[in-house]
A and B are shown apart, each in its own frame.
Chain A
Amino acid sequence: MKHYSHLIAAFGLAFLLTSCQRNTSTVWEDTKTMGRYLHRKGQLLWKQDVDSKMIESADEFNGPQEEEFIPLRDEDLKRQFADMSIPQPKEVPGAIGSPIPSIDKFAAPASHLSNIFQNLYFNTDEHILRSKEYYNNIAKIADYMKKNQNTYIFVAGHCDERASEAYNLALGTRRANTIRGLLVKKGVNPNHIYTISFGKEMPANLGHTKEAWSENRRVEFKIFEKEGSK
């Protein structure tokens, strides 16, 4: 009996040790779970019942920074939960060898998509969408892109004429990335969304009134349906 009790004790100790042991794989799985949990909870706070984005690889989670540029240290980046930074897609549109063509092959939304890919508008000097209903548009776009995995889009950020050209180029970039971030939060593959900023270079309304400025502070969408990829 004494012999068996030693065996049971050894087995129990081994079980306890291995059950607490964490390897790289489990840490990664936990991180994924936590990320999805936080994401979903964050969206529930805003009463948005949507699918969370499944992170598919460590590369997607960490982003390309380590390989492509020397990043700021984490404490210098001052990350905020609400300011999710989602690295740009690896494939450069139109580059030699890239499966994604240049913007010439991206088209304005066809008539059957124009209700989904509508322009979205902003307040002055803001990158937050002007109206709550635009968030419904984001959801519609996300639903479409999740159902149509061969869809790639350009999100083009535009500004009104009142700030300087140079600053507006940066602000347009910020607006386009805000929309990209919202779509990724809704589960769209970040590698299918490209941003572009035109600043105030390409106004939709050539007028100089409040109404014209209001129409020019926008993002527009251009769409490319890639053949044969699912």
Chain B
Amino acid sequence: MTPLTQVRSRTVVIASTNIDTDQIIPARFLTTTDKAGLGERLFADWRYLADGAPNPAFVLNQAQAGGCRILVAGRNFGCGSSREHAAWALLAYGFQAVISTEIADIFKSNALKNGLLPITVDAGTAQWLLAHPGAEVDIDLGETRLRLPNGAAVSFPIDAFARYCLMHGTDELDFLRGKLPDIEHYERARPW
């Protein structure tokens, strides 16, 4: 994985709360056996009209969304199904970070393993971000801090190990395989 230390970009805002992974990538697109083409399907039922044409009312189809790599969303982003396709689709589209007040557990874990930053912030910061779409935000993983154009600097929580892996481009599987002697010892020692 490519090391990731900073994301600096304008934001796209989708203010809905409880955006579930069925919205991020509907189930009918999960019949793939690889990861190809998922970016085109991101938010498919919001992004495209019944005839397949882009829905002009949806933010990702509007000019100001072009090039934005940070998604700001309402509370409890990524709830529901464990499908990692949701994280893959966001990354394939071009997002590198999602900011919300709450991010669901399984989605957060999937995001971290793919280099998509799940950033949770306090209600005040979220409110400001939701009210200022297109704001230029600077996420610094080294300092675990995001800077807003209004001058605010807000620290965010992130698991220390996940942060280390992201910043060094370390694959968690390599770390886990390094524990194989411990795993073998555990298997031998277990009484059942």
Q: Is the A/B pair a real complex?
A: no
